[in-house]
Structure 1
Amino acid sequence: MIEAAMIWNEPNNKSHWDPELDPDWAIFADTVIRAAGSIRAMNPAITRVLGGMSPIDPAWVQRMEKHGALDAVDVIAVHGFPLDWNLWSIHDWPQKVAEIEAVTHKPVWVTECGVGSFGAEEVQVFGIDKTAELLLPRVPRVFWYSLFDLPMSWGATTRHREAEGSSYYRHFYMGLIREDGTPKPSLERYARVANEMGLMQWFHFEDPRLDEAVAWMKRLGTKRLRTGLSWADSFRPGAIDWFDRQMEALADFDVTVTFCFTPEHLGVAPHHTSPARDPQGFADFCAWMIDRYAPARGLAAPAAAPALEQA
């Protein structure tokens, strides 16, 4: 079920990793090396992906290489939203991929791309058609963000929030399906490429949309899904029951699972974007999740939580 494990999400973006606490990304690189080693030890067949960068930045990739992090992963991932947040044209997608290929021999995946319907739903229709045209022949994996609009009452995971102006509110219009459950015109266009283009859908803790998402993806013919399992959520009451339910529901898809979010009590600062005081704790969480949901020797009894998680 799990074909790939992504180590963190958008680590060169302040909304997901605090550069004031790790200005050279040296702690992050150590975190990647430890996590990748733990994942490989549990199941060497799992593809290890360096958390999708946003913005797309060749200099950041070179920094990771100097820290030794690229030696620990199999794939480099990028995220792009040229009609919503990035300052480049949607037609530049092949060029943006090439910029990363020029500084690494690792394969490049596009693990988040999307166009929102904030301005007009017709723009999203154009966006999915053009993205498919430009990227599906170009890279091995493409994941569209996202299936569902983010409910306005949930808030977006960003450090800037309303200070972003209209950019903040675009977070709530990236789905193919509206908050009320009705499909947008772009859903039908996605269905045309669903067997090639995966979906990226975050499921919040005990997300009530899980079963509906699975039903939609099967109806659409989606083969691949990228989602996440949160280290921070692993400390919530009932976390393992929720993780088990989520992963069981997604068993029919090829899943790229993203491991991220620091528990507040284990961070250098009490925030999910903070580096951990002990990066090995995150590596242990990754090992636990892989051993539980993608054991190397087929069916096996679920692994026990590492001692840190039981605290």
Structure 2
Amino acid sequence: MIEAAMIWNEPNNKSHWDPELDPEWAIYADTVIRAGAAIETANPAITKVLGGMSPIDPHWVNLMRGQGALDAVDVVAVHGFPLDWNLWPIHAWPEKIAEIEQVVPDKPVWVTEVGVSSFGAEEVQVFGLERTAELLIGRAPRVFWYSLYDLPQSWGATTRHREAEGSSYYRHFYMGLLREDGSPKPALARYDRHAADMGLMQWFHFEDPRLDDAVACMKQLGVRHLRTGLSWADSFRPGALDWFDRQMEALTDFDVTLTFCFTPEHLGIVPHHTSPAREPQAFADFCGWMIERYAPAVIEERVAIRA
């Protein structure tokens, strides 16, 4: 079920990792090395993915190489939203991937988040989905469209400055192929043509009421590859393991790239989910624990024996 584990989400974006606390990403690199080792110990068959970068930045990748982080992963990942937030045109996608391939010729480059909001017009999302499919399917080994559902307005988006960001903030709520109420947007029918080749990225919040409907919709679409996450911070909530078990059981029919991220406030250098952990090994232990629970190596071996 779990084919890959991603070590954090957008670590070079201050909405997800605080650069003031770790200006050279030395703590993040140490976190990757420790988490990669923990995942490898739990199940060496799991593909280890460097946290999907946003913005796409070869200089940051070289920084990670210099600090040993690339030795701990199998895949480098990029995120891009050229019609909403990036300062480059959608047609430049092949060139952006090539920039990273030039500095990591020894590892595949996955596109683990790409999407277009319907904030301005739903027709723009339709165009963006079709053009993305044309440019990326066959160009990258894994492509994940973000996302299935619009983000509910009442939940709030995970950004640093929230409403002060203006329209950049509000675009976060319109990235789905389905509206908040579950009704389809025009882009859903276009995605249906590409579901077998372009996966979906969908965050499921703690005890997310959309889980079962999302699974049913993805199966109807023929989705094969799914990227989602398990929150280290959520693991300290009452009933966390019950929720994690339910979520992962619901996703057993998909090839899952599982993202581990979000620092518990009581374990951060400062009490915030973007803070580096005071003890990076604690995060690594969480990653290893989750792989042991949901993708243990012994099960992989038994499946191989039966085959």
Q: Give the alignment of 1:122-141 within 5 angstroms.
A: 122-141=123-142
Q: TM-score, normalised by structure 2?
A: 0.97
Partner of 1:178: 179
Partner of 1:305: none
Partner of 2:85: 85
Q: Output the amino acid matched with 2:213.
A: E
Q: Output the amino acid matched with 1:56.
A: I
Deviation at 1:299, TM superposition (A): 7.6
Deviations 1:267-289 (CA, angstroms, capped at 9, x unpaired): 00000000000000000000000
Distance 2:223 2:59 in 1: 34
Q: Give the alignment of 1:277-292 within 5 angstroms.
A: 277-292=278-293
Deviation at 1:253, TM superposition (A): 0.2
Q: State yes or no: 1:20 paired with 2:24.
A: no
Q: Output the amino acid matched with 1:13.
A: N
Distance 2:191 2:161 in 1: 30
Deviations 1:107-158 (CA, angstroms, capped at 9, x unpaired): 1000000001000000000000000000002010000000000000100000
Q: Give the alignment of 1:56-205 within 5 angstroms.
A: 56-104=56-104, 105-205=106-206
Distance 2:197 2:94 in 1: 17
Distance 1:52 1:197 in 2: 17
Q: Output the amino acid matched with 1:58.
A: P
Partner of 1:309: none
Deviation at 1:266, TM superposition (A): 0.3
Deviation at 1:28, TM superposition (A): 0.3
Any idea what SS the aligned residue of 2:103 has? coil
Distance 1:53 1:299 in 2: 30
Distance 2:151 2:253 in 1: 24
Q: TM-score, normalised by structure 1?
A: 0.96
Deviations 1:228-254 (CA, angstroms, capped at 9, x unpaired): 000000000000000000000000000
Q: Any runs of at least 4 consecutive aligned residues in structure 1 with deviations exceeding 6 A, and if so which?
A: none
Distance 1:224 1:109 in 2: 12
Deviation at 1:18, TM superposition (A): 0.1
RMSD: 0.8
Distance 1:116 1:222 in 2: 20
Q: Output the amino acid matched with 1:34.
A: R
Any idea what SS the aligned residue of 2:120 has? coil
Q: Output the amino acid matched with 2:36.
A: A
Of 291-300 and 276-285, the range deviating more from structure 2: 291-300
Partner of 2:304: none
Q: Output the amino acid matched with 2:24.
A: D
Structure 1 unmatched runs, 5+: 301-311
Q: State yes or no: 1:229 paired with 2:230.
A: yes
Distance 1:208 1:237 in 2: 17
Distance 1:208 1:19 in 2: 34
Distance 1:294 1:259 in 2: 14
Partner of 1:306: none
Any idea what SS the aligned residue of 1:247 has? helix
Structure 2 unmatched runs, 5+: 302-307
Deviation at 1:180, TM superposition (A): 1.3
Distance 2:36 2:52 in 1: 15
Distance 1:163 1:26 in 2: 30
Task: Give the length in aligned residue pairs.
Answer: 300
Distance 1:277 1:180 in 2: 40
Fraction of identical pairs, as percent: 80
Deviation at 1:219, TM superposition (A): 0.5
Partner of 1:307: none
Q: Give the alignment of 1:221-300 within 5 angstroms.
A: 221-298=222-299
Any idea what SS the aligned residue of 1:181 has? coil
Distance 2:138 2:74 in 1: 20
Distance 1:299 1:49 in 2: 19
Q: Output the amino acid matched with 1:80.
A: G
Distance 2:164 2:64 in 1: 30
Distance 1:133 1:44 in 2: 34
